[in-house]
Amino acid sequence: MPSSPSTTTGVSPRFPLDLPDCRFDQRNEMFKRRIWDEEFIEHGKQLYGEIRFKDAYGYRKLDYALRNAAWNLEYGYAFGTMKGNHGLYSWDHVPAKAKRFVETGEQVTHSPEENARIVKKAARFLGADLVGTCFAHPNLIYSHEMDLMDGVHRSVELPEGCTNAIVMAVAMDFESTRYSPDGIAGAATGLGYSVQAVVANMVAAFIRGLGFQAVPSGNDTAISVPLALAAGLGELGRMGLLITEKFGPRVRICKVFTDMPLAFDDFKPFGVEAFCRDCKKCAQHCPSQAISDGEPTMEGPSLSSFSGVKKWYIDPERCFMYWVKNWMDCNNCVMVCPFNKPPGKLHDTVRFLIRRAPILNRFMVWMDDLLGYGKPMKRREKNFWESPPSR
């Protein structure tokens, strides 16, 4: 696997994926195509511009209100799904009243190893559930941004020297994600996005307080999943999402790019690829059949695929059109994934066996079905509003 250019640590970092020799244009990302691709403009207006209440659990006004409240911080103040270098993800804007908290003079002079340790400590304290560090591979920075707020297509370049990344994951609530594909599961997703914006913003402020540049990022600026792999947060699953050992795919990813010297984490596989080859639950339960049940390939099926990486590609057009049909986002692949389990003796034992005894993978999938995890929640089992508060 090729090495990347040297960084401020003086080490040539290695990347867990052989990346194509190009950068992806965010204009071609599926949820950006809804504002310029004639095939999807009207569908995008329907999904994001209209609300259709239904007399069904998860689609009532009550459920929409919860979902929209959970998304409110992201859509009202953070904007990481819509625009880079803006709102809580602003690269350098600091309100005048806060400047004295972040303009603290000279840079700290810790070693890269000590810097990584203190940044991870701060990130966990500030709300990240997982955190790692890696080289900010230039091929993972978008070549151009598609600004959904202003409709502008502009080039993207990180500030000079920001070649390191702190990658963080925020876990979504297990119980509410099981309601997918309705508004209660949508609230879990929205809350993840809102919380990660606050975390990224505060971690960037912390790094600036140590005298370095810091660029917070949500879905903007760079492709998140490969950076999370390099930072040791997990593996790439069949569904195209990051699979973490502790939370499975039930996470949202944010990052901060910086010129602060950092020691890097390593890619930490724990058996996901081998397990995904046998499992295929996400493909079987995908309502749009957008997830491949075949072998990894080098080419994706779509303009929205970042081809040139050997992996399982999803069909983003099929996925998007199901969202339109559902009038709501969908997390079925996350819900049925066997890695999507809360901590516990049984679940921790299964994770251990997946890592150490892959010969048992098919048996683990069978057991997952037997225990009732491998299927969508039935309507009669839905009792989110009727059950006691979980916190």
- What's the pLDDT tens digit per position in 198-235? 999 999 999 999 999 999 999 999 999 999 999 999 99
d(C-alpha 179, C-alpha 332), whole Å: 9
For residue range 298-335, list pLDDT tens digits in order.
999 999 999 999 999 999 999 999 999 999 999 999 99
At position 191, the amino acid (one-letter code) is L
**What is the model's pLDDT at position 267?**
94
**What is the model's pLDDT at position 105?**
67
For residue 177, give Cα distances in angstroms to 47, 57, 186, 187, 214. Answer: 20, 14, 8, 8, 32
Question: Is the bond into 112 cis (omega within 30 degrees of 0)?
Answer: no
**How many Cβ atoms sit within 10 Å of the Cβ of residue 11?**
13
Segments making up each domain of the chain, as ranges: 26-381
**What is the model's pLDDT at position 159?**
96
Query: Phi/psi zone of residue 280: left (φ > 0), alpha (ψ -120 to 50 degrees), beta?
Result: left
At position 386, the amino acid (one-letter code) is E
pLDDT above 80 (res 61): yes
pLDDT above 60 (res 13): no
Q: How confident is the model at residue 9 (pLDDT cuts 50, 70, 90)?
A: very low
What pTM was estimated for this model as a whole? 0.92
Q: At what angle do helices 112-125 and 183-209 cross, to 10 degrees?
A: 140
Average pLDDT over residues 253-277: 95
At position 99, the amino acid (one-letter code) is K
For residue range 119-146, list pLDDT tens digits in order.
999 999 999 999 999 999 999 999 999 9
Q: Which residues contact 348 (CB under 8 A, 6 or more apart)?
A: none
DSSP assigned state of 72: H
For residue 162, give Cα distances in angstroms to 92, 100, 348, 358. Answer: 13, 23, 37, 39
pLDDT above 70 (res 95): no
